[in-house]
Structure 1
Amino acid sequence: MFKLPYEFLLSWRYTRAKRRNGFISFISLSSMIGIALGITALITVLSIMNGFQQELRERILGMTAHMTLTEADNRLRDWQSVYSQVIDYPKILGAAPNISEQAMLTGSGEVKGTMIRGVLPEQEGQVSDIENQMVLGSFEQLQPKAYQIILGSELASTLGVSLGDKVTVIAPQGTVSPLGVVPRIKRFTVIGVFEAGMHEYDSGMAFIHLKDAQTLFKYGEAVGGLQLKIEDLFKVFEVREDLGKHLTGRYYVRDWTQQHVNFFKAIEMEKRMMFIVLALIIMVAAFNIVSTMVMVVTDKQSDIAVLRTIGASPFNIQSIFILQGLIIGSIGVILGLIGGISLASNIDVIVPLIEQLLGFQFFPADVYYISKVPSLIIWSDVYSVAIVAFVLTLIATLYPAWRASKIQPAEALRYE
């Protein structure tokens, strides 16, 4: 029959025994609860930040492609040939040509700088979610040579226009005339309004047909680039290398990590700083174990002396108190993991309940684009939190255990 080491049995007995000094038990319990609360808070906050990051990423990439292929001068001339090469590639889900140029829009006396995107309606759905974000009109209504335009909801509001109204597009590419360079101006009819849930797009983007964009911006038969949607957006570097071997010709690739690198770096930095700040809660609770174990060692000096006299080595004594501290910390870690995972998994139920009880919303829908608190548990974060908490607990036990191993039996039993 398997027998546990006596060091573990003694540490477990000391942990669950009712000591003569009730204050030691209180500090031990408070350390355990502190570690559990710190881990619960850290897992919950990291999961919420992961949820926000995923939500923002989906909204951003819902309007932009994962990757864009173009040539040196940002003109892709034989885009049909490139399309035929990439569309059957296993890791690519869809492809669509586009032209993105800046222009001025005027309507109802208002002027607004805008990013004009020329697209093919029948192919754009392969790389973006614009069709599902229409609030007025239909994206499929875009017709070539009809000079129709679809505006973002905030852009339409700023210009004071709606379905059927006219807006004037002023392109920076001028036309040379006897009077000099004259801006290219064209009237478009508003046939739709979209709402992506991102201020950058809703207030500064408009869609027109690819043929109209080629005429307006003097592209001829070329396009600005070929947008690609891939299976796994986190494998853009791998797909980029494969495309370099697969394609015949010299092309430049831009991916979503380059286009929004500062934004996602800021979110990642914020997540790391939040991890450090909340880890301090665990650190404080873990180092409460130091005071607990020091008092336990003082309280158990006679026991330590007896163990030493019957043959226990300093290492055995040290192991007893390290194990006792780890038991306290491990219970706190397990309770914290259960609490954090449970809270993060049910945040969509808990937050509305709190809002109902308190009578206000954390993220009002008329102020914030994301009106619900999202949550995404990433297990690597959970493992990291558990490991950090366990290591801090181990460190907190070293000094008291070392102090216990240095107790001399004769000194400890002198006044017994």
Structure 2
Amino acid sequence: MIRGLEFRIGLRYTRARRKNNFISFISLTSMLGIALGVTALITVLSVMNGFEKELRERILGMAAHTSLLGLEDTLPRWREVAETAMENDQVLGAAPYIEGQGMLSSGDQAFGVMIRGIDPAEERNVSEVSEQMVEGELEALNQTRFGIVLGTELASRLGAGLGDKVTLMIPKGSVTPAGLVPRMKRFTVVGLFEVGMYEFDSGLALLSLRDSGKLFRMGDEVTGVRLRLSDMFKAPEVSREIANDSNRAFRVTDWTRQHANFFSAIQMEKRVMFIILMLIVAVAAFNIVSTMVMVVTDKESDIAILRTLGERPRDILAIFIVQGTVIGVVGTLLGVLGGISLALNVETLIPAIEQLFDTQFLSADIYYINAVPSDMRWSDVTMIAGVSLVLSLLATIYPAWKGSRVQPAESLRYE
């Protein structure tokens, strides 16, 4: 246990006398190094959290939290399935959909697309596509016979705009006198959406449930039912509950499975970045070792005097632990304050820097996320501060132990 005397002496040793300014400079450098590393770590992890949150919201703005799919290619009696799912307290909305692949062409341009048939009225309950319309309205799908809504990127590549005709071909053939030919249909573009994800904006086309049912000849059946939950992170748990409460006439999947590789990659990048940036803190923390070794060498005569006055080796150990810990604590606190300040204001600072230097870090022509988002999490701040303090304490132990082993007679021999 550290007593008041050892604590006061340890604090005095952190302020070097005039002849020991070099030791004071090394202590200050170690302190600033820890602060810089902690600041960088909190800021970078907050920005990575912001990107992850932004991408997740954009993906789940079009993808379902949970999907109920047929055991075969179609889901019969989907209305009963939707009613069963809505009985779960976590389910906020359910909407049927028909999904398939096809090729859209306009003029001499043709591109493969994912086709999704939806009910515009029900789709509002499970996705945000109606809020991302840049031209036209989603409801026009029901008001126009064989209407289609395209992503802005896809429409640009096709050279198609509102009111233009496009040809949709699906890989299901129709038997004609000329033989088996792909099924084709002309559609009128009634709307354009932009969700900010290239995957959807360049490769998704929306039809009405009625028209897609006719095109794929599915009758009253659908591919599945999409669900929106009050808490997206409970999707695996809710999926199991729905599956257990039903007669299992369908299979259940959720966004954590559908996009598992993508979000796993983000988590891996965060872990690697944490380790890399923590090395900055580690280097600064272990600079404390050199500082403390020099202090112990400089204070050998003081240690000897304290020992002759009755101080025990563990008391000397406590004095130097206090000194090293103060460096680590002050550096960590400065870093935490700097990191929090940057993380909370990065969305304001980056535009100001871009304006000052007349540049743009994330060009809107290349990146859909053209602003630097930030999502500071207190759990990250606590973990970073804790690791920094532990590293600082570990770096202090050996020099403090060496100081406690100083022999008074040897140190005072030449005094």
TM bin, normalised by shorter chain, reads over 0.9
Query: More displaced, 305-314 or 203-212?
Result: 305-314
> Does the CA contact (< 8 Å) of 2:243 and 2:251 recur in 1?
no
Q: How does 1:184-203 map to 2 (within 5 A)?
A: 184-203=183-202
Match for residue 265 of structure 1? 264
1:102-117 equivalences in 2 (<5 Å): 102-117=101-116
Structure 2 counterpart SS, 1:267: helix
- The amino acid across from 1:140 in the alignment is E
Q: Deviations over 1:7-55 (max 9, x none)?
A: 2121111113535311000000011011011101110010001001100
Residue 65 of structure 2 corresponds to residue 66 of structure 1:
yes
Classify the secondary structure of the residue corresponding to 1:269: helix
Alignment of 1:155-234 (within 5 A): 155-177=154-176, 179-234=178-233
Q: Deviations over 1:40-97 (max 9, x none)?
A: 1110010001001100111111011111001211311111011112224210111101
Structure 1 counterpart of 2:364: 365
What code does the residue aligned with 1:281 have? I
Name the stretch that deviates more: 336-345 or 167-176.
167-176
Structure 1, 20-29 or 230-239: larger mean CA deviation: 230-239
* Matching residue of 2:136: 137
Q: What one-letter code is carried by the residue in structure 2 that aligns with 1:195?
A: E
SS of residue paired to 1:167:
strand
For residue 299 of structure 2, what is the aligned residue in structure 1?
A: 300
Alignment of 1:16-415 (within 5 A): 16-18=15-17, 20-143=19-142, 146-177=145-176, 179-415=178-414
* Structure 2: distance between partners of 1:363 and 1:404: 53
Contact 1:365-1:371 at 8 Å conserved across structures: yes
- Between the aligned residues of both structures, percent identity stands at 55
Distance 1:289 1:249 in 2: 62
CA displacement 1:243-286 (0-9 Å, x = unmatched): 12322333211111111111111111111111111111111111
The residue identity in structure 2 corresponding to 1:81 is E
Secondary structure class of the residue paired with 2:116: strand
Measured in 1, the distance between the counterparts of 2:49 and 2:413 equals 59
SS state of the match for residue 139, structure 2?
Answer: helix
Distance 2:240 2:365 in 1: 44
Tell whether the 8 Å contact from 1:315 to 1:405 is kept in structure 2 after alignment.
yes
Q: Secondary structure at the match of 1:193?
A: strand
Question: Which moved further from structure 2: 343-352 or 302-311?
Answer: 302-311
> 1:267 & 1:155 partners in 2: Cα distance?
27
The residue type equivalent to 1:210 in the other structure is L
1:365 & 1:9 partners in 2: Cα distance? 57
Q: Secondary structure at the match of 1:391?
A: helix
What amino acid does structure 1 have at the position aligned with 2:210? Answer: K
Displaced runs of 4+ in structure 1, greater than 6 A? none
Could you list the runs of 5+ residues in structure 2 that have no partner in the other structure? none
Unaligned runs of 5+ in 1: none
Residue 367 of structure 1: SS of its match in structure 2?
coil
Number of equivalences: 414
Equivalents in 2 of 1:152, 1:145: separation in Å? 18
Report deviation, 1:364: 2.4
- 1:212 aligned partner, one-letter code: D
Structure 2 CA distance, aligned partners of 1:157 and 1:357? 33
Q: Distance in 2 between matches of 1:233 and 1:399?
A: 49
Deviation at 1:104, TM superposition (A): 0.8
- Distance across 2 between alignment mates of 1:308 and 1:223: 86
SS at match of 1:339: helix
- How far apart, CA to CA, are the structure 1 residues paired with 2:158 and 2:69? 32
In the aligned structure 1, how far is the partner of 2:324 from the partner of 2:373? 36
Q: Which amino acid aligns with 1:41?
A: A
Once residues 395 and 75 of structure 1 are traced to their aligned partners in structure 2, the CA distance between those partners, rounded to angstroms, is: 61
AA in 2 matched with 1:59: R
- What is the deviation of 1:217? 1.2
SS of the aligned residue for 1:98 comes to: strand
Q: Secondary structure at the match of 1:16?
A: coil
Partners of 1:48 and 1:374 within 8 A in 2: yes
| Contact 2:313-2:404 at 8 Å conserved across structures | yes
**Do the aligned partners of 1:151 and 1:194 also contact (CA within 8 Å) in 2?**
yes
2:236–2:256 Cα contact (<8 Å) kept: no
8 Å contact kept, 2:59–2:197: yes
Report the Cα distance in structure 1 between the residues aligned to 2:236 and 2:198, rounded to whole angstroms. 29
Tell me the secondary structure at the aligned position of residue 139 of structure 1. coil
Equivalents in 2 of 1:73, 1:177: separation in Å? 27
Which letter does structure 2 place at the counterpart of 1:217? F
Instruction: Work out whether residues 239 and 253 of structure 2, in 8 Å CA contact, stay in contact via their aligned partners in 1.
Output: no
Aligned partners of 1:32 and 1:331 also within 8 Å: yes
Asked if the contact 1:145/1:211 (under 8 Å) is kept, the reply is no
| Partners of 1:382 and 1:117 in 2: CA distance | 42
Q: Distance in 2 between matches of 1:169 and 1:153?
A: 17
* Alignment partners' CA distance in 1, 2:21 and 2:101: 73
How many Å apart are 1:145 and its aligned residue?
Answer: 7.8
Q: Is the contact between residue 144 and residue 210 of structure 1 (CA under 8 Å) also seen in structure 2?
A: no
After superposition, the Cα gap between the structure-2 partners of 1:23 and 1:392, relative to the gap in structure 1 and judged at 3 Å, is same
Change (3 A) 1:144 1:352: closer
Question: How much has 1:176 moved relative to structure 2?
Answer: 3.2
Q: CA separation in 2, counterparts of 1:74 and 1:389?
A: 54
1:279 and 1:212 map into 2 onto residues whose CA distance is: 56
Contact 2:169 2:183 in 1 (8 A): yes
Aligned partners of 1:260 and 1:373: how far apart in 2? Answer: 23
CA distance in 2, matches of 1:219, 1:394: 68
